[in-house]
Structure 1
Amino acid sequence: MSNWTMKQTWSNLLFVHWPVSAEWLQALLPDPLKADTYEGSAWIGLVPFKMEKIRFRGLPEVPLLSSLLELNVRTYVTYNGKPGVYFFSLDASHPIGVWIARTFFHLPYFHSQMRAEFQPNEISFSSRRIHKGEPPAQLRLTYRPGPVKTQPEPLDLWLTERYCLYTVKNRKIYRGDLKHAPWSLQDGTCEILSDTMTRDFGRSEQKTLHILYSKAVETEFFPFVKLC
């Protein structure tokens, strides 16, 4: 594929995942998307990161628009057997970026006040949703990268090596393909200090979290395709 429409670099990514019932998840998904499972369990992910070097094909980076913070709540689905990502929400720190994503890509972006402090061995991240007409939601956490995983576990790859996303607009399903090098994954730790982002998505203090970290990856996005 060479007809990319947008390039981005994602950096300082934390992947926090927990298992949920596939039947419970399926009830939250729009038809005809199907909950994808690993050894019988579906999974929900919470992913904070920094997005930078954003540019559209044929255009230079725009300094005020080329960098933002993002936080997404996501899961994993299939459509006609093709695995991908489905987003319940994507919060971002730049209102213009939110408007573009909602208007042209049909993605559930929300404007939030965000802060991140990037230290060599620790990242502090906070988000407070301020999107007009939407209920508040907030998250505050710290996370730390661990050793590089020279041989990631099968579940690590199942959760991260996804090369398309699905979204819905007016009951129509769209798929957006993307390309990047395989993830360079590290173990990670995190401390969730406060959270109303995931209270409706099955996370609890009793569940063991699956945590990964990745320093950076460069991505290319391709035009969305209407599937049905």
Structure 2
Amino acid sequence: MIPEAVTQLSPRPVRRATLLQNWNDVTFLHWPVDPARVTKFFPDGTWPDTADGVTYVGLVLFKMERVRLPGEPGLPYLRTFCETNVRLYSVDKSGRRGVVFRSLDAERLPPVLVGRFGARLPYSWSKMRLSRRRDNVAYTSQRRWFGARSASARALVSVRERLGDPSPLEHFLTARWGLHVRWRGRTVYLPNEHGEWPLHRAKLLALDENLVEAAGIARPAGPPVSVLYSPGVTVRFGFPAVEVAETFSGLTAKCLR
């Protein structure tokens, strides 16, 4: 494992954005997982990131808004949609902390196709809804295409007080500055940059889901150990980076492309 001192604790600036989007009305649900049970899901050159020897599986529910390329507003129908993902937490040998997605359910089919066949991410097209009444936020998701058709999630949370100073665990679970994915035989790191999450405590009022189990992870026992809510952040994605080991004249040179 990489010592905590050398892992990435803050975002690296994205000098040239490739994609912009807002993540709004975000609920984070997390359960602890033994790293040994999920290591098989990580691409080469990455492994489970841990806090006090434990890693976590997250069920993250939110609305994607204003998805757009730099300098353009985005198409109205395609730029706003609900999304729910199941994710694990990764770190690579360069100390870059990220996520590994086990599943991503989205409401709009074109982004699902681009994500699934272009970026090689496990997207599924789902019927989804997010509604808010005062301090209660409700999420529903029912998978249509790709993956287990019976996979679904229903969650209801009550938003509570703003966190003035997130705990080390709350920071660990939310301060992620990219994703690791296997693409064309290589492990790719796709960086992103956003402001500090405005986090709130939240109470889970109801949860009925099988997305975690459908993603190949044994259903965690008991309720989530962390329930957080955020009104959202604006996100800038940068260019992907690939770590490649090249051998020349019997010597191995590492380069970052």
Q: What is the aligned length?
A: 227
Give the Cα–Cα distance (whole angstroms) in 2 for the partners of residues 117 and 14 of structure 1: 13
Of the candidates 71, 83, 97, which is equivalent to residue 84 of structure 2?
A: 71
Give the Cα–Cα distance (whole angstroms) in 2 for the partners of residues 206 and 162 of structure 1: 25
User: How do 1:157-196 and structure 2 match up within 5 A?
Assistant: 157-196=171-210
What's the offset of the Cα at 1:27?
Answer: 2.7
CA-to-aligned-CA distance 1:143-174 (integer Å, 9 cap, x gap)? 12110010111100011111111111243211
1:107 partner amino acid: L
Please state if 1:34 is matched with 2:67.
no
Give SS of 1:51's match: strand
Give SS of 1:214's match: strand
Give the Cα–Cα distance (whole angstroms) in 2 for the partners of residues 192 and 131 of structure 1: 26
Please tell me whether the aligned partners of residues 153 and 208 of structure 2 are also in contact (alpha carbons under 8 angstroms).
yes
1:53 partner amino acid: R
1:61 is aligned to 74
Give SS of 2:41's match: coil
2:10 is aligned to none
What's the offset of the Cα at 1:222?
Answer: 1.0
CA-to-aligned-CA distance 1:114-151 (integer Å, 9 cap, x gap)? 1121222111111011114x322111111121100101
1:14 is aligned to 27
Give SS of 2:121's match: coil
Give SS of 1:38's match: coil
TM-score (norm 2): 0.83
What's the offset of the Cα at 1:205?
Answer: 4.5
1:215 is aligned to 231
Give the Cα–Cα distance (whole angstroms) in 2 for the partners of residues 221 and 204 of structure 1: 31
Of the candidates 124, 140, 146, which is equivalent to residue 154 of structure 2?
A: 140
2:99 is aligned to 85
Give SS of 1:158's match: helix
Please tell me whether the aligned partners of residues 158 and 205 of structure 2 are also in contact (alpha carbons under 8 angstroms).
no
1:226 is aligned to 242
Please state if 1:114 is matched with 2:128.
yes
1:154 partner amino acid: P
Please tell me whether the aligned partners of residues 20 and 202 of structure 1 are also in contact (alpha carbons under 8 angstroms).
no
Please tell me whether the aligned partners of residues 64 and 83 of structure 2 are also in contact (alpha carbons under 8 angstroms).
yes
Please tell me whether the aligned partners of residues 25 and 42 of structure 1 are also in contact (alpha carbons under 8 angstroms).
no
TM-score (norm 1): 0.94
Give the Cα–Cα distance (whole angstroms) in 2 for the partners of residues 179 and 196 of structure 1: 30
Give SS of 2:172's match: helix
Of the candidates 197, 202, 216, which is equivalent to residue 211 of structure 2?
A: 197
CA RMSD in angstroms comes to 1.5
Please tell me whether the aligned partners of residues 31 and 220 of structure 2 are also in contact (alpha carbons under 8 angstroms).
no
What's the offset of the Cα at 1:57?
Answer: 1.9
Give SS of 1:47's match: strand
2:100 partner amino acid: Y
2:167 is aligned to 153
CA-to-aligned-CA distance 1:36-93 (integer Å, 9 cap, x gap)? 1000101000000001011112332211111000000001011112211111011000
Unaligned runs of 5+ in 2: 1-13, 245-257
